[in-house]
């Protein structure tokens, strides 16, 4: 199975995605499509460990 976001191999931990980052990207797509919330969700980069705390800091 491959990640629907970047097509790399999926990580069982984040199935069907390869990483937390891709899972967040997908979630953000859904959220943006449904609720059009501010862009705080998009600031997830290299380490893939950011998320909620990014929102809190803004």
- Residue closer to Zn ion (CB basis): 9 or 53: 9
Q: What are φ and ψ of residue 57, in 5° steps?
A: -75, -20
Among 1, 2, 6, 27, binds Zn ion (CB under 5 A): 6
1 binds Zn ion (CB under 5 A): no
By CB under 5 A, the residues from 15 to 34 that bind Zn ion are: 18, 22
Residues that bind Zn ion (CB under 5 A): 3, 5-6, 18, 22
């Amino acid at each position: 199975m491959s990640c629907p976001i970047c097509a790399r191999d999926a990580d069982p931990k984040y199935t069907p995605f390869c990483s937390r980052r891709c899972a967040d990207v997908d979630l953000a797509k859904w959220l943006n499509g449904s609720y059009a919330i501010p862009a705080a969700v998009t600031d997830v980069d290299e380490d893939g460990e950011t998320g909620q705390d990014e929102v809190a800091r803004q």
